Amino acid sequence: MARKVVNRKELRAQSDAAEARDKAKTPKEKAAKAKVTKEKVVKEKKVKEPKKPGEKKPARKKVAKEVRMKAYWGVFNQGMKRLALFEYADKKAADKKVAELIGSSRVHHFVQLVKEPISE
């Protein structure tokens, strides 16, 4: 399917002719034309499309407030069940607890970083 070829010279001639007509008009005619275009714009703004039933306004998204988090060391078993929780500075104590649990039950346990929101 071929596109229509645009003749730039004809378009330029039309544009020049329109500018010449605008220059030939008196200031009164220009003011009257501007007034008519303003009235059209005002009328277009007043006309609103009626809402369709079932059409909802777009919901505003609530801005989530920033929650402060605190880091802890958690001791977990293979099933990701948290068995103990230690302060972030007490990693040695968490490692000691893991060694104790592995020695007593022969089941694998591990230490993992846990972040929980600070309740004020």
Q: Which residues contact 94 (CB under 8 A, 6 or more apart)?
A: 73, 74, 75, 84, 86, 111
Q: What mean pLDDT value characterizes the chain?
A: 83
Distances (CA, A) of 63 to 17, 60, 96: 55, 9, 42
Q: Are 108 and 74 in contact (CB under 8 A)?
A: no
- Measured distance CA(102)–CA(113) in Å, rounded: 19
The reported pLDDT for the residue numbered 3 is 75
Q: Are 93 and 61 in contact (CB under 8 A)?
A: no
More confident residue, 84 or 3: 84
pLDDT tens digits, 48-67: 666 677 777 778 888 888 88
Whether the per-residue pLDDT at 113 is higher than 90: the answer is: yes
Whether the per-residue pLDDT at 47 is higher than 60: the answer is: no
Whether the per-residue pLDDT at 88 is higher than 90: the answer is: yes
The reported pLDDT for the residue numbered 105 is 86
What φ, ψ does residue 111 adopt, rounded to 5°?
A: -105, 135
- Measured distance CA(93)–CA(90) in Å, rounded: 5
Whether the per-residue pLDDT at 44 is higher than 70: the answer is: no
Whether the per-residue pLDDT at 103 is higher than 70: the answer is: yes
Q: Stretch 65-88: mean pLDDT, rounded?
A: 94
The reported pLDDT for the residue numbered 36 is 65
Instruction: Locate 63 and state its tokens.
Output: 């801005």
pLDDT tens digits, 20-32: 887 777 677 767 7
The domain locations on the chain are 11-42, 69-117
